[in-house]
């Protein structure tokens, strides 16, 4: 008969010999490898108690520390509509400088591209009409003074009984005429922005702060047409961003909506404003509706003529939004874990509308005030 060799098993010796302890250590290592996974699984199971789908997590467990719970709220996200646009000078800030009288240009201290401030002298003209106006004003002022003194003398003589009433009335009439003539001459000088005694030189000043965009004359030229612009000054302290809204989006754009404006020539610069006006008719050639955004431009970074992108923010009705990190996907079913009590959670199916952002809209399954697990939900398991 053949004898079967006895089975060999790990030997455990509890002796003080160094050689004898080696098999003991080897046996413990094998046990750790064979049963480590089961022990971890039992430890994880001990963290979560499943009561018919209601999961309770031990408050002092490592799993509880990895869960983040957030209340569901109503949000009003904005739909963004990017459309092409252009930076334009505000028409009321683009003014032409013209001379009110004919004359020869004796000084032209500015040129195209120069920045000017309000009331800065931009041109000087020698004009016979200007000389006549200042002379008339001086004569009218002298005549008014003489008439005033003559009326005072007549009134004094009359009070002493030495003059007739007719003389007083005549002096009063002369004084009234002199006063009217002085008012006329003064108004004429005011229209020319001149002062009595200035002579025949008229100084033209900038009506606004801005930049000289064009100069149409030169020193030494004789101006005969008062309606011809000598130069054009464009104010850049405020500009327009004009958006070209496509015809199919015209009904979504309204006055008062917020808009962000970016320009390719200024990377990193974003201007913010609101739609101030919308033209009533479409552009026939482009089939677009022009919406105007007024922008402050104190630093003159935005130049008229720059191409821009106008992103119009269209507010949407309040909706329930949740972070996409809270979603658990199971085939075609989307679920979240809802906290029903402290450290107690239940899986709930929801319907959503996918979005490219961090949030998505919930159509059904959640209400405002529900608390959902937004971080660590995948660690919960109620299967």
Domains of the chain: 9-50 (no CATH), 52-77+318-379 (2.40.420.20), 82-92+234-315 (2.40.30.170), 128-199 (1.10.287.470)
Whether the per-residue pLDDT at 8 is higher than 50: the answer is no
Whether the per-residue pLDDT at 5 is higher than 50: the answer is no
Integer Cα distance of 380 and 383 in angstroms = 9
In sign, the C-alpha dihedral spanning 262, 266, 272, 277 is negative
Point out the least confidently predicted range of 36-50, 157-171, 318-332, 348-362. 36-50
What confidence score (pLDDT) does residue 298 get?
82
Whether the per-residue pLDDT at 7 is higher than 70: the answer is no
Integer Cα distance of 322 and 371 in angstroms = 10
Name the token pair of 193. 């922005």
- pLDDT tier at 146 (50, 70, 90 boundaries)? very high
Integer Cα distance of 156 and 175 in angstroms = 15
The arrangement of strands across the sheet holding 201-205 comes to: 201-205, 121-126, 103-107, 222-223
Whether the per-residue pLDDT at 73 is higher than 50: the answer is yes
Calculate mean pLDDT across residues 231-258. 91
What confidence score (pLDDT) does residue 122 get?
94
What confidence score (pLDDT) does residue 25 get?
33
Whether the per-residue pLDDT at 39 is higher than 80: the answer is no
The fraction of the chain above a pLDDT of 70, given in percent, is: 84
- The 8 Å CB, 24+ separation contacts for 274-282 are 275/243, 275/312, 278/253, 278/254, 282/247, 282/250
What is the pTM assigned to this prediction?
A: 0.52
Q: Give Cα separations from 272 to 60, 74, 240, 259, 378 (angstroms).
A: 49, 26, 12, 6, 41
The fraction of the chain above a pLDDT of 90, given in percent, is: 39
Give the chain's mean pLDDT.
82
Is-contact 303 235, C-beta < 8 A? no
Question: CB under 8 Å to 230, separation ≥6 — which residues?
Answer: 96, 97, 98, 99, 105, 123, 204, 215, 216, 217, 223
Is-contact 205 270, C-beta < 8 A? no
At 199-217, the pLDDT tens digits run: 788 889 998 888 898 999 9
Calculate mean pLDDT across residues 11-15. 33
Phi, psi of 49 (to 5 degrees): -110, 125
Collapsing DSSP to helix, strand or coil, 199 comes out as coil
What confidence score (pLDDT) does residue 379 get?
86
Point out the least confidently predicted range of 41-55, 161-175, 323-337. 41-55
What confidence score (pLDDT) does residue 101 get?
87
Integer Cα distance of 156 and 159 in angstroms = 5
Integer Cα distance of 338 and 70 in angstroms = 10
What confidence score (pLDDT) does residue 40 get?
40
**Among all chains, which residue has been given the structure tokens 């467990």?**
61
At 165-191, the pLDDT tens digits run: 888 889 999 999 999 999 999 898 888
Q: Give Cα separations from 140 to 18, 179, 246 (angstroms).
A: 131, 8, 63
Q: Which residues sit opposite 281 in a β-bridge?
A: none
Whether the per-residue pLDDT at 144 is higher than 60: the answer is yes
What confidence score (pLDDT) does residue 345 get?
92
């Amino acid at each position: 008969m053949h004898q079967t060799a006895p089975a060999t098993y790990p030997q455990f010796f509890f002796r003080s010999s160094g050689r004898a302890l080696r098999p003991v250590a080897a046996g413990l290592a094998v046990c750790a490898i064979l049963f480590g996974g089961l022990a971890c699984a039992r430890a994880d199971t001990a963290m979560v108690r499943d009561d018919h789908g209601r999961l309770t997590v031990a408050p002092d467990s490592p799993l509880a520390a990895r869960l983040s719970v957030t209340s569901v709220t109503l949000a009003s996200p904005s739909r963004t509509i990017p459309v092409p646009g252009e930076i334009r000078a505000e028409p009321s800030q683009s003014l032409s400088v013209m001379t009110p009288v004919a004359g020869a240009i004796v000084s032209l201290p500015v040129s195209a591209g120069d920045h000017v401030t309000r009331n800065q002298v931009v041109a000087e003209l020698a004009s016979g009409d200007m000389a006549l106006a200042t002379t008339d004003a001086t004569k009218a002022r002298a005549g008014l003074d003489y008439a005033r003194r003559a009326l005072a003398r007549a009134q004094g003589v009359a009070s002493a009984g030495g003059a007739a009433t007719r003389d007083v009335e005549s002096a009063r009439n002369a004084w009234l005429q002199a006063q009217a003539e002085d008012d006329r001459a003064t108004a004429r000088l005011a229209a020319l922005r001149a002062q009595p005694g200035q002579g025949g030189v008229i100084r033209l000043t900038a009506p606004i702060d801005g930049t000289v965009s064009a100069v149409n004359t030169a020193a030494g030229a004789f101006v005969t047409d008062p309606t011809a612009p000598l130069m054009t000054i464009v104010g850049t302290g405020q500009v327009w961003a004009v958006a070209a809204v496509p015809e199919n989006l015209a009904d979504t754009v309204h006055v008062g909506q917020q808009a962000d404006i970016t320009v390719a020539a200024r990377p990193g610069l974003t201007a913010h404003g609101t739609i101030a006006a919308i033209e009533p008719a479409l552009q026939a050639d482009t089939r677009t509706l022009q919406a105007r955004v007024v922008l402050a431009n104190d630093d003159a970074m935005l130049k008229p003529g720059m191409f821009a992108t106008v992103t119009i923010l269209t507010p949407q009705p309040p909706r329930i939004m949740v972070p996409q990190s809270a979603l658990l996907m199971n085939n075609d079913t989307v679920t979240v874990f809802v906290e029903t009590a402290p450290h107690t959670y239940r899986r709930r199916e929801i319907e959503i509308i996918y979005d490219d952002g961090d949030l998505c809209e919930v159509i059904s399954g959640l209400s405002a005030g529900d608390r959902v697990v937004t971080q660590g939900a995948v660690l919960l398991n109620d299967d």
